[in-house]
Amino acid sequence: MSIYDFYQIFGQIVFILGLLLLGLLSTTLILGRLQIKENRLIFPKLLLFTVDVFYGLFKKFAENVGVDGKIVDQIGVEVRNKVNEKLFRKIKHEDKILVLPHCLRHADCQANLDTSGIVCQNCNKCVIGVLKSKGEDMGYKVFIIPGSQFLKKIVEQNKFKAILGVACYQDLNLCMMKVSKFSVQGVPLLRDGCVNTKVDSRAVLEKMGAIQPEDNPMKLDCSTETHRKKTL
């Protein structure tokens, strides 16, 4: 076989693999959008494989076909939620941890930072205090972290079987990837950013097992006036 023949065959193989990858990304995008829109779980292992292995490429592909790249993180979060929800519910609350983002804090928060995250003072000025108190009453260990780098320390220094996390879609998806050996559940922020973020507290409490789906919804954010009015 000549060097020309070798490169010709190699080029054909690369071309075929490219077509297969394009088909995989297209299929995952279609099935993922179906999962988000209709809550139908189809080929979850395929979806998670594509999101985990081709994360960056998948985002670029979605954007190139006119879809917001954020959908890749939505697919990862929603599929993992669906795959793990039954097992998560069966695990005792004492074997679970709740991880909240520091961006939900009140603007005048005086809490200090230590090696495991923000040490909440239970001032009840923001939704963090509400979720923390409820979680600890149920048996959860609760952590408020300023970044995903703290999650590694929490995993190394604590014994648990399941994690419930709150974050923006991208951070949530990437963190759920890193701790996929545990039973994980995630609640995305309604409004993300570095400060003044917002979460559907009802969704968090439902995931925690604190309320049932038929309970009246309540949305809390970290803005001073909104939360203060609800707590008075």
DSSP state string for 106-142: -TT---EEETTEEE-----SSHHHHHHHHHHHHT-EE
| Domain co-membership, 25 together with 121 | no
**Is residue 86 one of the residues assigned to a domain?**
no
Task: Report the run of H or E that residue 166 belongs to, with start and end.
Answer: strand 162-167
List, in sequence order, every residue forming a beta bridge with 185; answer none if it has no partner: 164
Q: What are 13-27's pLDDT values in tens digits?
A: 887 888 898 889 998
List, for residues 147-188, the tens digit of each pLDDT value. 778 888 888 888 999 999 999 999 999 999 999 999 999 999
Average model confidence (pLDDT) across the chain: 85
Q: Is residue 83 part of a domain?
A: no
Contact 58, 28 (CB under 8 A): yes
Domain span at residue 33 reads 3-77
Instruction: Give me the number of domains the chain comprises.
Output: 2
Do residues 143 and 99 make contact, with C-beta atoms less than 8 angstroms apart?
yes
What is the 8-class DSSP label of residue 217? P
For residues 51 and 180, give the distance between their C-alpha atoms in angstroms, rounded to a whole number. 13
* Same-domain check for residues 70 and 19: yes
Domain boundary among 35, 53, 77: 77
82 occurs within a structural domain: no
Q: Are residues 71 and 97 in the same domain?
A: no
- Given 51, 77, 103, which residue is the final one in a domain? 77
What angle do the packed helices 169-178 and 149-157 form, to 10 degrees? 40
- Helix and strand numbers (H, E) in the chain are 9, 8
Same structural domain, 47 and 99? no
Same domain, 103 and 20: no
202 and 172, same structural domain? yes
- Cα 53 to chain centroid, rounded: 17
Residue 25: closest CA among 6, 5, 46, 4? 46
Both 187 and 133 in a single domain?
A: yes
Cα 172 from Cα 170, distance rounded (Å): 5
Are residues 56 and 111 part of one domain? no
At residue 221, does pLDDT exceed 50? no
Q: Are residues 68 and 128 in the same domain?
A: no
Give this prediction's pTM.
0.82
Q: Are the beta carbons of 162 and 86 closer than 8 angstroms?
A: no
Residues 154 and 219 in one domain: yes
